[in-house]
C-alpha cells in the first residue's frame, strides 16, 4: 500500500483549457459512487464522496437511505455498489487532448472498488428529519492505492482550525460549465463559507428548517437557481430541481485490470454540479465534499446535503459535529490491523517531516508501520528539546521521544511608561522578542511616571500556553511638578538644583 500526504494538490505543468475546469490533481480525494441498476445491469453514478483513508470514504446518508429501512448498517455482498477513484473525464467519450494530457501527467489508471459496508448515521431520518445528520461512512472491500492522482483529504480530528464567513472552500465535480455546456471533465469552484446562524437568518420561508444544527452553508444568495443542476436529495416542497446532466458510459475496469466488455457497465445517470453566472461550479451531487485550506493542506469540512431551489446556496453537513463517529470507524479499520499504519496527530505548533526531507507532512497523514517521523516547531513556538521524533508501532500506536515538544512563546513586552527587564533562568532576555515560557519580566515605572492606584514594581511570568500571567499596566505621567524647594537662581537669582525643572531640555 502506498501512503501519501493528505490534502495535497498534485498539480504539474498543465495548460488551463477553461477557467472553471479543474486542473488534473486538484481534487485527488474526490470519488464517484455507483449503484447497480437491475433493469439494465449498468452502474449508475448516484453521488460523490471523499477519501479519508485507503478503505474509507465519507459521503451523504441520503444517497443510500430508504424510507422504512430497518437498519442504518447496509451490508453489501452482491457488488451492488462501486466506488471510482482518480476519475477526471467521463466514461465513453472519444479520446481528446484532455485524455492524453491526463495520461501523460499521472499515468494513473482509474481504480474501481467494491463496497463492503455502508454506515448511515443513526440520527438520519430523511426528509421528515429535515436531513439532519446527513452523513455516511463507506467501507471498501479492498484498499485503494494512493498515487499522484488519488490521495485522501485531511480531517481536523482535534478541531484545531476555525473557518469564518467569507472563507473560500474548494469543491469539484462533474456537470455544466459557466457556459451551460455539459463538461466531459471535472469542474472546480470556490464557494464562500456561511456559518449556521447567518444561513438560517437568510430565510423566513421555512427553508431555514433544513439548516439543522449540524449544518453550514456556502454559495451566494444573489445567484438565481432556476434551471440549475441539483443534488438528488428528494425533498418535497423545497426539493432540488430535476434539471440534471446525464453521465455517459465509461469502461468498467477494476483497478489496473483490463475491462470486461461483457460485464456490467458504468452507465448514463444524473450527477450535476453547476451554477449559472459563476466562474466555476456552484452545485454538486450529494455527498461531494467541500474542503478548506489550512497550512497548505486541504481539510474536509462539509458534505453536500441540501440545495436551495431559489438561489445558489448549498447546505453542507458539517463533519466537525460527527468527528467522533467518523473516528470510531477510522480507528477500527485503520488502527487495529486492517491497515497497519499510524495517523499523524494534530498537535499545535508541531510540524512533521520524514528524515532527510524538507517536505512538510500534514496532520492526519497516514504513516507506514515502523516509519520514523521528525518533529519540529512552527515559527513562534519554542522547541523544548533539541531533537524530536515519533515512530509508528503496531495497531496505530506511536512511540514518541517526548510528551510535549513545542511551546507557544509569549509576545514581546513594550511600553512607553514602564521599564521592563526580562530574564530566563537567571540570564538576560530581550523583552522586545518573542519570549520562552518561564521567562520572568520585572516592571517598574519610568522616571517622571507614577504607578496607578498605588501599584509598585511587579513581576510577570510567561506561561506554557504563550500568555503572560498578568497584564501590563500603564504608569501615569508625573508632569510639571517641582521636586525640591527652589534655591539660588543663576544670574543674580536663586540657583536651580537638579530636579527643579525635569521637563527642561538644554541645548549646548
Residue extents of the structural domains in the chain:
30-323, 340-407, 409-477
Q: Which long-range contacts (CB under 8 A, 24 or more apart) does 447-456 make?
A: 447/502, 448/477, 448/478, 448/479, 448/502, 449/417, 449/418, 449/475, 449/476, 449/477, 449/478, 450/475, 450/476, 450/478, 451/475, 451/476, 452/476
**Is pLDDT above 90 for 139?**
yes
The pLDDT value given to residue 497 = 59
Q: Which long-range contacts (CB under 8 A, 24 or more apart) does 466-471 make?
A: 466/407, 466/408, 466/409, 466/410, 466/411, 466/437, 467/410, 468/410, 468/411, 468/413, 468/441
**Is pLDDT above 60 for 1?**
no
Q: What is the pLDDT of residues 238-260, one digit of tens each?
A: 233 222 222 333 332 222 233 33
Q: What is the pLDDT of residues 34-80, one digit of tens each?
A: 998 888 888 888 889 999 998 999 999 999 998 888 889 999 888 89
- Report the candidate in 504, 500, 505 with the shortest Cα–Cα distance to residue 483: 500
The pLDDT value given to residue 305 = 93
**β-strands 341-343, 366-368: how paired?**
antiparallel
**Is pLDDT above 60 for 90?**
no
Q: Do domains 340-407 and 409-477 have the same CATH topology?
A: yes
Strands (E), 341-430: 341-343, 350-354, 366-368, 372-377, 381-383, 388-392, 398-400, 406-408, 418-424, 427-429
Distance of CA 207 to the CA centre of its chain: 27
Burial of 57 (0-12, 13-18, 19+ CB in 10 A): buried
Q: How confident is the model at residue 335 (pLDDT cuts 50, 70, 90)?
A: low
Buried b (16+ CB within 10 A) or exposed e, 371-390: eebbbbbeeebbbbeeebbb
Alpha-carbon span 20 to 181, nearest angstrom:
12
Q: Which CATH class is domain 409-477?
A: mainly beta
Average pLDDT, the chain: 75
The pLDDT value given to residue 187 = 76
Angle at 150 between CA 33 and CA 160, to 5 degrees: 95
The pLDDT value given to residue 480 = 62
Alpha-carbon span 114 to 126, nearest angstrom:
25
Average pLDDT over every residue of 419-430: 94
Take residue 379 and report the three cell numbers written for it.
515559527
CB 499 within 8 A of CB 484: yes
pTM over 0.75, yes/no: no
Burial of 407 (0-12, 13-18, 19+ CB in 10 A): buried
Measured between alpha carbons, how far is residue 38 from residues 67, 107, 301 in Å?
Answer: 20, 33, 34
**Largest Cα–Cα separation, the chain:** 121
Q: What is the pLDDT of residues 300-324, one digit of tens each?
A: 999 999 988 777 889 999 999 999 9
Measured between alpha carbons, how far is residue 486 from residues 25, 204, 478, 495 in Å?
Answer: 83, 78, 19, 7
- Report the candidate in 142, 110, 171, 153 with the shortest Cα–Cα distance to residue 5: 153
**Is pLDDT above 90 for 281?**
no
Take residue 436 and report the three cell numbers written for it.
520562552
The pLDDT value given to residue 453 = 76
Q: Find the helix or strand (DSSP H, E) in which 325 lies.
A: helix 323-330
Q: Find the helix or strand (DSSP H, E) in which 97 lies.
A: helix 97-106
Alpha-carbon span 98 to 287, nearest angstrom:
26
**Is pLDDT above 60 for 26?**
yes
Q: What are phi and psi of 67, to 5 degrees?
A: -60, 130
**Is pLDDT above 50 for 181?**
yes
The pLDDT value given to residue 348 = 85
For 130-134, 162-166, 197-201, 333-337, which range has the lowest pLDDT when averaged over its residues?
Answer: 333-337
Average pLDDT over every residue of 288-296: 92
Q: How confident is the model at residue 496 (pLDDT cuts 50, 70, 90)?
A: low
Sign (positive/negative) of CA torsion 246, 251, 252, 254? negative
**Is pLDDT above 90 for 140?**
yes
Alpha-carbon span 103 to 97, nearest angstrom:
10
**β-strands 111-120, 266-267: how paired?**
unpaired
Q: How confident is the model at residue 422 (pLDDT cuts 50, 70, 90)?
A: very high
Alpha-carbon span 459 to 419, nearest angstrom:
12
Q: How confident is the model at residue 11 (pLDDT cuts 50, 70, 90)?
A: low
**Is pLDDT above 60 for 325?**
yes
Q: Let me know if domain 30-323 sits in CATH 2.40.10.10.
A: yes
The pLDDT value given to residue 234 = 28
Alpha-carbon span 154 to 362, nearest angstrom:
8
SS (H, E, C) 420-455: EEEEECCEEECCCCCECCCCEEEEEECCCEECHHHC
CATH architecture of 340-407: Ribbon (2.10)
**Is pLDDT above 70 for 505?**
no
Angle at 264 between CA 252 and CA 71, to 5 degrees: 105
The pLDDT value given to residue 158 = 84
Q: Which residue has the higher pLDDT, 182 or 472?
A: 472
Q: What is the pLDDT of residues 451-481, one digit of tens each?
A: 887 677 789 999 989 999 998 888 888 776 5
**Is pLDDT above 80 for 329?**
yes
The pLDDT value given to residue 375 = 94
Sign (positive/negative) of CA torsion 258, 138, 184, 16? negative
pLDDT above 70 coverage of the chain, percent:
69
The pLDDT value given to residue 65 = 92
Q: What is the pLDDT of residues 185-195, one digit of tens each?
A: 677 888 999 99
Q: How confident is the model at residue 499 (pLDDT cuts 50, 70, 90)?
A: low
The pLDDT value given to residue 277 = 30
Q: How confident is the model at residue 178 (pLDDT cuts 50, 70, 90)?
A: low
CB 443 within 8 A of CB 459: yes
Alpha-carbon span 408 to 411, nearest angstrom:
9
Q: What is the pLDDT of residues 366-417, one digit of tens each?
A: 888 888 999 999 988 999 888 899 999 877 788 988 888 999 999 999 999 9
3-state secondary structure of 99: helix
Amino acid at each position: 500500500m502506498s501512503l501519501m500526504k493528505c490534502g495535497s494538490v498534485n498539480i504539474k505543468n498543465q495548460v488551463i483549457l477553461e477557467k472553471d475546469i479543474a486542473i488534473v490533481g486538484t481534487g485527488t480525494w474526490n470519488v464517484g459512487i455507483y449503484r447497480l441498476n437491475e433493469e439494465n445491469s449498468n452502474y449508475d453514478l448516484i453521488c460523490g464522496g471523499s477519501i479519508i483513508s485507503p478503505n474509507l470514504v465519507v459521503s451523504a446518508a441520503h444517497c443510500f437511505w430508504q424510507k422504512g429501512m430497518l437498519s442504518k448498517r447496509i451490508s453489501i455482498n452482491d457488488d451492488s455498489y462501486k466506488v471510482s477513484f482518480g476519475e477526471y473525464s467521463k466514461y465513453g467519450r472519444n479520446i481528446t487532448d484532455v485524455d492524453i494530457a491526463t495520461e501523460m501527467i499521472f499515468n494513473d489508471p482509474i481504480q474501481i472498488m467494491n463496497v463492503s459496508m455502508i454506515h448511515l448515521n443513526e440520527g438520519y431520518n430523511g426528509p421528515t428529519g429535515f436531513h439532519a445528520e446527513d452523513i455516511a461512512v463507506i467501507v471498501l472491500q479492498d484498499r485503494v492505492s494512493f498515487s499522484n492522482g488519488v490521495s485522501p483529504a485531511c480531517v481536523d480530528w482535534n478541531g484545531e482550525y476555525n473557518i469564518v464567513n467569507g472563507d473560500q472552500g474548494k469543491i469539484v465535480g462533474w456537470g455544466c460549465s459557466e457556459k451551460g455546456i455539459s463538461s466531459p471533465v471535472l469542474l472546480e469552484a470556490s464557494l464562500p463559507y456561511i456559518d449556521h446562524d447567518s444561513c438560517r437568518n437568510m430565510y423566513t420561508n421555512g427553508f431555514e428548517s433544513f439548516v439543522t444544527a449540524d449544518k453550514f452553508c456556502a454559495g451566494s444568495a444573489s445567484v438565481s437557481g432556476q434551471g440549475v443542476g441539483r443534488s438528488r436529495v428528494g425533498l418535497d416542497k423545497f426539493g432540488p430541481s430535476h434539471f440534471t446532466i446525464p453521465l455517459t458510459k465509461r469502461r468498467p475496469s477494476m483497478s489496473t485490470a483490463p475491462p470486461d466488455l461483457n460485464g456490467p457497465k458504468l452507465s448514463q445517470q444524473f450527477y450535476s454540479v453547476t451554477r449559472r453566472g459563476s466562474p466555476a461550479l456552484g452545485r454538486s451531487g450529494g455527498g461531494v465534499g467541500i474542503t478548506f485550506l489550512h497550512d497548505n493542506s486541504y481539510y474536509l469540512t462539509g458534505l453536500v446535503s441540501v440545495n436551495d431551489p431559489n438561489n445558489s446556496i448549498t447546505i453542507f453537513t458539517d463533519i466537525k459535529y460527527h468527528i467522533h463517529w467518523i473516528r470510531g470507524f477510522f480507528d477500527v479499520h485503520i488502527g487495529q490491523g486492517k491497515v497497519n499504519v499510524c495517523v499523524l496527530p494534530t498537535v499545535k505548533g508541531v510540524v512533521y517531516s520524514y528524515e532527510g526531507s524538507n517536505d512538510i507532512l500534514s496532520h492526519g497523514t497516514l504513516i507506514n508501520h515502523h516509519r520514523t517521523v521528525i518533529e519540529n516547531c512552527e515559527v513562534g513556538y519554542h522547541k523544548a528539546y533539541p531533537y524530536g521524533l515519533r515512530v509508528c508501532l503496531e495497531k496505530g500506536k506511536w512511540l514518541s521521544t517526548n510528551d510535549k515538544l513545542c511551546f507557544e512563546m509569549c509576545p514581546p513586552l513594550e511600553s512607553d511608561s514602564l521599564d521592563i527587564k526580562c530574564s530566563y533562568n537567571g540570564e538576560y532576555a530581550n523583552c522586545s522578542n518573542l519570549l520562552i515560557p518561564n521567562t520572568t519580566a520585572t516592571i517598574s515605572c519610568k522616571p517622571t511616571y507614577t504607578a496607578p492606584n498605588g501599584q509598585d514594581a511587579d513581576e510577570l511570568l510567561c506561561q506554557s500556553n504563550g500568555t503572560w500571567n498578568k497584564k501590563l499596566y500603564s504608569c501615569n505621567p508625573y508632569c510639571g511638578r517641582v521636586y525640591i524647594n527652589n534655591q539660588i537662581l543663576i544670574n543674580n537669582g536663586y540657583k536651580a538644583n537638579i530636579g527643579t525643572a525635569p521637563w527642561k531640555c538644554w541645548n549646548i
